[in-house]
Structure 1
């Protein structure tokens, strides 16, 4: 999947955290959580040379290449997500969960790609959710449609929140 698709997935995950924790989507804390979601969503692609995240975090990306981390392996694994969870556990709960869920959205939606993901890295077994013929190819029309659906949900989720609060206020 492309960076913009992962950003929408991360944003949607962060919106879910904001609303689940009953924060107003219009507070500064929520704005920070949503920004974190947009950035954490594509972050796992730091292991892919040439990706936006690899360019932004070049020293870390270069280190991953130096130790020969392949794309969709370590940075897309459950073990790595757990390590990030421990590393960032001192963050305030809203920011912590926004980051962690947004980051986890990355390997989750990559499971729809034909290439799959090594979720149990270092065990070299690739997982995917769809058979190859139905998989979503990176940059394809089906990915664009998937991204539009994610974008629609990023609008509907806060609209649903506002609607419910307007109805209950009356």
Structure 2
């Protein structure tokens, strides 16, 4: 998937954490968490030469290349999600939870691609959720449609959080 699709998923992850933790969506704390979610959701692609993250974090990308880490292997695995979870424990809320939730969306969304991911790395099999004929190809019209669904969900979450209680209060819901 493209960076903008991963960022949309990170946005949803951040919003979900904020709602769950009762953080006001119109606050500086929420703004920081949403920005963090959008950025961290693309971090797993640091293993892909030429990606924005590989360019932004060139020393890490170069190290991964030296270690022969291929795309959609270690950085897309549950093992790295677990390591990040341990490393982010000291972070204040909601930022630690947003970081983990947004990062985890990356391999989950890539499971919808025909190439799948090595989710159980270092075990070798690549896993995908959809059969080839339903898989979402990177940069395809299917990915664009999927991204628009994610963006619609990213609008629904804050609107339902704000408007839901208001509509209930006036008896519409």
> Is residue 35 of structure 1 aligned with residue 43 of structure 2?
no
Once the two structures are TM-superposed, the CA of residue 167 in structure 1 deviates from its matched residue by: 3.4
Q: Please, which moves more after superposition, 27-36 or 160-169?
A: 160-169
1:98 corresponds in structure 2 to 98
C-alpha distance in structure 1 between counterparts of 2:48 and 2:163, whole Å = 41
Compute the displacement of 1:27 (Å): 1.0
User: Kindly tell me: are residues 22 and 168 of structure 1, through their superposed partners in 2, closer, same or farther at Cα, counting changes over 3 Å?
Assistant: farther
Could you tell me which runs of 5 or more consecutive residues in structure 2 were left unpaired when the two chains were aligned.
none
The residue that corresponds to 1:89 in the other structure is 89
Q: Say whether 1:62 aligns with 2:62.
A: yes
**1:4-57, CA deviations, whole angstroms, 9 ceiling, x for partnerless residues?**
000000010110000011111111111111000000111100000000110111
Q: Which residue number corresponds to residue 47 of structure 2? A: 47
1:111 aligns with 2:108: no
Question: Unmatched 5+ residue regions in structure 1?
Answer: none
Separation of aligned partners in 1, 2:36 and 2:168:
30
SS in 2 for 1:44: helix
Indicate the structure with greater helix content.
1
Q: Aligned pair count?
A: 170
- TM-score after normalising by structure 1: 0.97
Structure 2 counterpart SS, 1:90: coil
Distance 1:18 1:97 in 2: 9
Please name the residue that 1:22 is paired with: 22
Matched residues in 2 for 1:123 and 1:157: separation? 36
Shift of 1:143: 0.2
1:125 matched to 2:129? The reply is no
TM-score (norm 2): 0.96
